[in-house]
Amino acid sequence: MSAAAAEWLAPTSLDAALALRAERADATVLAGGTFLGILINQGFADPPALLSLGGVAELRTLAVHDGELRIGAMVTHRALERDERVREGWPALARAFALVASPRVRNQATVGGVLADADYASDPPAMLAALEARVVLHSPRGTREVAVEDLILGYYETCIADDELLAEVRVPPAPERAVYRKFRSRSSEDRPCVAVAAAVRGDALRVVVGAVADTPQHFPDVCARGPGEAAAIGRAYAERIAPIDDARGSAAYRRRVIAVEVRRAIEALT
Ligand SMILES: Cc1cc2nc3c(=O)[nH]c(=O)nc-3n(C[C@H](O)[C@H](O)[C@H](O)COP(=O)(O)OP(=O)(O)OC[C@H]3O[C@@H](n4cnc5c(N)ncnc54)[C@H](O)[C@@H]3O)c2cc1C
């Protein structure tokens, strides 16, 4: 079967989407389609039915509630990066989304989609983890919140259950300072070779490195040294991480980049 022949399921409310998700185990969730579309077009996926979230208005809301940023799963990267509240309150987050691919992709790709696809070479997960964001997962059984850091379990694997939908991302009030650094080794529109997100809240430093392993990498004990130890923390991250070897860089190359980029990110915080 081809995508053109797939049954099109188009709920207009979250409840209806959840009911379909539970009833139709054969249906694949479709958000912006920038990831899934490639899988289908290249013959890696052949879903008999597509459960499109495009008509669910509840999933497109972007709001600030008690200082917390609440991002509906269907908010696009472009909408997020251009939102004045996000640019002023969470500028590093706006920047991380603005560095994804091209405007054409960002106009289509959604915040829920980039987390649910769990691609190791994505930009947003490391930044969201550094900001201590959580996702809200809904199912007919109820609702649960999971830290972004715990959502991604491995390559293209999350803890989202078969009957769950990722409905919202909640980002706590912004830390005093945060930064996102994307190191590309090929074209300016490419995915990162090494992605470093760092944030400082009070005395607490959080450094999360993305695109170098199956999941975003965070070492609280290393971060406990504090922002004054930028070079030592960079070296420690490079030693602790077992980097992947892919078209964007060998493991040895990545180790060197991690040490430098982590140091630079921490220095940019101070
Ligand atoms: C040319 C190109 C360049 C790119 N460059 C970058 C880059 O530089 N940096 C980067 O970070 N990313 C990059 N990407 C990846 C892009 O950001 C992702 O493809 C996109 O974020 C996925 O979002 P989507 O809404 O299109 O998801 P979809 O393709 O619709 O879905 C992705 C997956 O998530 C599942 N899913 C989607 N929404 C939900 C939900 N709410 N609940 C449960 N499951 C869900 C789907 O079933 C599917 O498995 C690039 C993509 C392209 C095509």
What three-state secondary structure class fits 79? helix
Enumerate residues lining ligand 1, CB below 6 A: 28-36, 38, 53, 73, 100-101, 105, 108-110, 112-114, 116-117, 122-124, 160, 165-166, 191
Ligand 1 mean position, distance from CA 131 (Å): 20
The residue behind tokens 């990498």 is 217
- Pick from 117, 139, 169 the residue to mutate for probing ligand 1's pocket: most ligand atoms within 8 Å of its CB: 117
- Does this model's pTM top 0.95? yes
> Tens digit of pLDDT for each residue in 125-163?
999 999 999 999 999 999 999 999 999 999 999 999 999
Give the model's pLDDT for residue 3: 58
Residues 85, 101 contacting (CB under 8 angstroms):
no
Percentage above 70 pLDDT, the chain = 99
| Burial class of residue 260 in the structure, from the number of CB atoms within 10 Å of its CB (0-12 exposed, 13-18 middle, 19+ buried) | middle
pLDDT in tens, the chain (270 residues): 455 689 999 999 999 999 999 999 999 999 999 999 999 999 999 999 999 999 999 999 999 999 999 999 999 999 999 999 999 999 999 999 999 999 999 999 999 999 999 999 999 999 999 999 999 999 999 999 999 999 999 999 999 999 999 999 999 999 999 999 999 999 888 999 999 999 999 989 999 999 999 999 999 999 999 999 999 999 999 999 999 999 999 999 999 999 999 999 999 998
The residue type of 146 is: V
How do residues 44-58 score in pLDDT, each as one tens digit?
Answer: 999 999 999 999 999
In this structure, the residue with its CA closest to atom 38 of ligand 1 is: 113
| Cα–ligand 1 centroid distance for 176 (angstroms) | 30
pLDDT given at position 1? 45
Q: Give 228's DSSP letter.
A: G
SS3 content of the chain, % helix, strand, coil (to 5): 40, 25, 35
pLDDT tens digits for 213-232? 999 999 999 999 999 999 99
CA–CA separation, 46 and 95 (whole Å)? 34
